[in-house]
């Protein structure tokens, strides 16, 4: 996949590569499963050499080592202004300090100060709220982020892992107050995790926010190494979450079949499906060959996309099940509107009486 075919991120002028490079695995600090500084820099250099410009991390990834690796790399090699550096606040790195994490004004400002220090830069291109802080008013978070944008320390903002209703409230509040709006949402999204399609994805489209999927290969289940009746040497993360379920294997089977037909990898097929959904996936790697495998250029046919859609249909929460065929039947009465066909409500067919 060409990384220098850039696209704007949400309703903004920020141009990013079609895949972001996730740096969660950069660093080998105790208790954090990552890769060495040398391997991290190989991965980073390869991504940049291929035209990539969007790099994502968080304050507590490998206990802060991920941010330090990125900071040291760009301080040594330059070109910091040519990349879009993103990090996240929320994670508390100070045991015993209730204000060490979260999304309050003090917490955000202190976390940003430490992140900029580790990354050896005076600004972030994109700053994410890593999770929803139930203990802080959303207006406090938004106003603080707007102040940071005004100061030049942050250029754009986004949310991650936040309910749709909270995000919609925040975006509306930002627009009404003329504060800095959200341009992107970082969400779990893959062929094996599609519940984002219930409320968050349509909200993001309507409100001008790009979707940036994390775990696009679902703990490696879509990498190609998981097959029926094949013993897999799992990573620490995969051991923690367990292996694929029978329903997940049904999806994996189709992914592997399409990959074989296209002479490519299951990972590349899974990522191509996400690109067809108009997202900007985050790809992570512990080894250089993983990155190169993920970046294989793949174009899926409409039939292949539909096959993947059909086998991975998500079970969405109420009221989503009422928004498909049932809605069309009640609303369109057998007509076709905007290309969507409908049937007639059964009782109307059985009676000629209209009250």
Residue positions annotated with a catalytic role: 61
Burial of 202 (0-12, 13-18, 19+ CB in 10 A): middle
**How far apart are the C-alpha atoms of 73 and 63, rounded to whole Å?**
18
- Could you please report the per-residue DSSP string of 156-168? EEEEES--HHHHH
319 preceded by cis ω (within 30°)? yes
**How far apart are the C-alpha atoms of 34 and 67, rounded to whole Å?**
13
**How far apart are the C-alpha atoms of 287 and 25, rounded to whole Å?**
10
Helix and strand counts by DSSP (H, E) for the chain: 13, 10
**Sign of the four-CA dihedral 336, 342, 345, 351:** positive
Is 19 within 8 Å of 3 (Cβ atoms)? yes
Is 307 within 8 Å of 31 (Cβ atoms)? no
How far is CA 340 from its chain centroid?
29
230-233 LR contacts (CB < 8 Å, sep 24+):
none
Is 180 within 8 Å of 151 (Cβ atoms)? no
Burial of 193 (0-12, 13-18, 19+ CB in 10 A): buried
**How far apart are the C-alpha atoms of 162 and 188, rounded to whole Å?**
11
Structure tokens, 113: 């100060």
CA distances from 53 to 4, 7, 91, 257, 290 (A): 8, 11, 25, 32, 18
């Amino acid at each position: 996949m060409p990384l220098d075919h850039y696209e704007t991120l949400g309703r903004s002028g920020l141009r990013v590569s079609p895949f972001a490079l996730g740096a969660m695995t950069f660093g080998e600090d105790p208790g954090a499963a990552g890769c060495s500084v040398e391997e991290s820099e190989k991965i980073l250099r390869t991504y940049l050499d291929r035209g990539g410009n969007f790099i994502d991390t968080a304050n507590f990834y490998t206990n802060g080592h991920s941010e330090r690796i990125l900071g040291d790399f760009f301080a040594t090699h330059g070109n910091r202004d040519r990349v879009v550096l993103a990090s996240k606040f929320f994670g508390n790195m100070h045991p015993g300090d209730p204000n060490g994490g979260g999304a309050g004004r003090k917490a955000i400002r202190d976390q940003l100060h430490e992140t900029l220090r580790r990354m050896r830069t005076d600004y972030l291109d994109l700053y994410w709220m890593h999770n929803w802080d139930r203990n802080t008013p959303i207006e406090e978070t938004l106003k603080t982020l707007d102040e940071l944008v005004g100061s030049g320390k942050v250029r754009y903002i986004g949310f991650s892992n936040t309910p749709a209703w909270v995000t919609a409230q925040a975006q509306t509040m930002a627009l009404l107050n003329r504060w800095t709006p959200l341009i992107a949402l970082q969400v779990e999204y893959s062929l094996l995790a599609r519940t984002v399609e219930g409320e968050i994805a349509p909200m993001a489209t309507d409100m001008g926010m790009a979707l940036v999927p994390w775990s696009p290969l679902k703990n490696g289940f879509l990498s190609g190494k998981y097959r029926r009746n094949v013993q897999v040497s799992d990573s620490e993360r995969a051991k923690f979450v367990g292996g694929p379920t029978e329903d997940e294997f049904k999806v994996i089977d189709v992914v592997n079949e399409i990959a074989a037909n296209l002479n490519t990898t299951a990972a590349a097929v899974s990522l191509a499906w996400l690109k067809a959904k108009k997202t900007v996936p985050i790809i992570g790697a512990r080894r250089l060959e993983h990155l190169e495998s993920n970046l294989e250029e793949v174009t899926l046919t409409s039939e292949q996309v539909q096959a993947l859609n059909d086998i991975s249909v998500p079970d969405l929460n109420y009221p989503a099940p009422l928004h498909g065929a049932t809605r069309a039947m009640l609303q369109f009465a057998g007509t076709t509107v905007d290309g969507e066909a409908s049937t007639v409500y059964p009782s109307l067919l059985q009676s000629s009486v209209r009250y």
